[in-house]
């Protein structure tokens, strides 16, 4: 074995317990569990783009041609990263981490690890053996934007939809959570792993940002524990597979059209059946499926696409789902290239993509960063898995920033979309040990 490489497979629970905040990448999918430790090579951000234009307000706008060029440059740089790892002694290097929603405005968090370990997936019954405890204590919650502001943004988009400029826009909002104690990121990961049995649970170590002196907090809440080194971690449990490649086989599983679940079994089933029958949600889903198929067709010999969507469930949500399978036309096409060809899908951006992206930048008061990007891994042979980065949060010290979004189409209402984002926050809030209702109680 080379200095950096794969070690013998072990159990998923063992990998979960070996996780260390700040130095480990954890990934659990229906196929396997992966723990990557240590950084042999860390991705460094690309230089700024040229050829940008500014709008009348002076905001930087990026041409679609430059976006395409940036994506190709990114893929080329990843291939160079793999080659550098080979020169350093790795026989089959792997890149792990997360890629942002917009490579132009945010940086990827990717690295070649020093050691990787694999394990078989764990059954739901075995996951129940993981002890669940609160990951944060005495939390305060603040919305950004406030619920009323988010609803106004939805109404702004609906006006554009009625004018025919757009077909769909995905708008998101955040919750800023401050804990009295340091967030137990390892316990948060355990809780997510335990409760999300069919999706993609992940934890990504992020590059540390050192605060300036003026950023140092004087909040008395921050003095309840001795100071210790903090790490930035992007963590979550996504229900949505963007794409996976194994040899020549390709699979994508887009989700679009959602409904909150109910604790009452009869009401829960009614909501599921209503979602499956909803003309609005089925149209939203069909738009996403066609976009995914259009992106994959040039890269595949054939695609198999079910005629009707099915239902998938998480602990908090129902989703319309379509499982798409294909065979690569060129075995040299990597999972990363497939992921970049698909991203961003209408499920997390909208359609047409260019107009939807502009609407997002106009309406959302924050940079998405890794949210609605992609998280996963790709090896030097091109195999890999990439999930859509949703149901997630950025954790650092005593703070968490949670993200949730909703697709706005004709027939949407501001009240319903606000409620949908509140329900989607539930995955992370439950994992933290908080009441999910706090997502609709606090305003700025």
Whether residue 240 lies in the annotated active site: yes
Task: State the Cα–Cα distance between residues 389 and 98, nearest whole angstrom.
Answer: 8
Q: Exposed, middle or buried: residue 59 (CB in 10 Å: 0-12, 13-18, 19+)?
A: exposed
- Among 171, 370, 167, 391, CA closest to 288: 167
Task: State the Cα–Cα distance between residues 185 and 394, nearest whole angstrom.
Answer: 10
- Catalytic annotation, pick one of 109, 143, 240, 337: 240
- Among 254, 178, 164, CA closest to 220: 178
- C-beta of residue 203 within 8 angstroms of C-beta of residue 33: no
Sign of CA dihedral 56, 173, 254, 387: positive
Whether residue 3 lies in the annotated active site: no
Q: What is the 3-state secondary structure (H, E, C) of 365-404?
A: CCCCCCCCCEEEEEECCCCEEEEECCCEEEEECCEEEEEE
Give alpha helix (H) positions in 237-352.
265-277, 279-296, 335-342
Mode of pairing for the β-strands spanning 140-144 and 350-351: unpaired
Q: Identify the helix (H) or strand (E) that includes residue 197.
A: none
- Tokens representing 107 are 């940086």
Strand partners, 313: 318
Could you give the angle at the alpha carbon of 240 between the alpha carbons of 234 and 63, nearest 5°?
75
- Among 406, 412, 405, CA closest to 368: 405
CB atoms < 10 A from the CB of 192, how many?
A: 28
Task: State the Cα–Cα distance between residues 391 and 201, nearest whole angstrom.
Answer: 10
Task: State the Cα–Cα distance between residues 351 and 169, nearest whole angstrom.
Answer: 7
Residues with a known catalytic role: 168, 240
């Amino acid at each position: 074995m080379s200095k950096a490489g794969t070690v013998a497979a072990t159990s998923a629970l063992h990998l979960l317990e070996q996780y260390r905040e700040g130095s480990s990448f954890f990934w659990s999918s229906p196929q396997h569990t992966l723990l990557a430790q240590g950084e042999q090579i860390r991705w460094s951000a690309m230089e700024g783009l040229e050829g940008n234009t500014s709008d009348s307000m002076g905001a930087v706008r990026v041409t679609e041609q430059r976006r395409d060029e940036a994506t190709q440059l990114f893929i080329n740089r990843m291939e160079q990263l793999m080659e550098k790892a080979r020169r350093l002694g790795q026989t089959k290097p792997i890149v792990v981490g997360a890629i942002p929603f917009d490579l132009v405005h945010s940086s990827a968090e990717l690295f070649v690890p020093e050691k990787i370990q694999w394990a078989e997936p764990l059954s739901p019954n075995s996951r129940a053996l993981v002890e669940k405890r609160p990951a944060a204590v005495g939390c305060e919650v603040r919305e950004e934007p406030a619920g009323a502001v988010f609803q106004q943004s939805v109404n702004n988009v609906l006006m554009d939809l009625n004018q025919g400029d757009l077909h769909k826009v995905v708008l998101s909002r955040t919750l800023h959570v401050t804990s009295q104690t340091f967030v137990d990121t390892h316990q948060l990961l355990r809780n997510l792993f335990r409760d999300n049995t069919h999706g993609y649970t992940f934890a990504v170590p992020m590059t540390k940002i050192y605060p300036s002196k003026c950023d140092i907090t004087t909040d008395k809440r921050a003095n309840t524990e001795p100071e210790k080194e903090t790490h930035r971690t992007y963590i979550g449990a996504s229900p949505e597979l963007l794409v996976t490649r194994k040899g020549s086989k390709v699979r994508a599983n887009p989700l679009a059209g959602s409904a909150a679940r109910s604790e009452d079994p009869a009401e829960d089933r009614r909501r599921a059946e209503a979602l499956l029958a909803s003309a609005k949600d089925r149209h939203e889903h069909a738009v996403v499926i066609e976009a995914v198929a259009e992106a994959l067709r040039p890269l595949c010999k054939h695609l198999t696409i079910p005629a009707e969507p099915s239902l998938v469930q998480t602990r908090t949500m129902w989703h319309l789902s379509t499982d798409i399978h294909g065979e690569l036309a060129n075995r040299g096409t990597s999972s990363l290239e497939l992921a970049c060809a698909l991203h961003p899908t209408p499920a997390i951006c909208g359609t047409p993509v260019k107009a939807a992206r502009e609407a997002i930048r106009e309406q959302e008061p924050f940079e998405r960063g890794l949210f609605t990007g992609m998280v996963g891994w790709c090896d030097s042979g091109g195999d890999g898995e990439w999930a859509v980065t949703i149901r997630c949060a950025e954790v650092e010290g005593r703070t968490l920033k949670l993200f949730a979004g909703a697709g706005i189409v004709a027939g949407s209402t501001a009240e319903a979309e606000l409620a949908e984002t509140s329900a989607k926050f539930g995955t992370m809030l439950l994992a933290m040990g908080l009441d999910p209702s706090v997502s609709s109680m606090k305003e700025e």
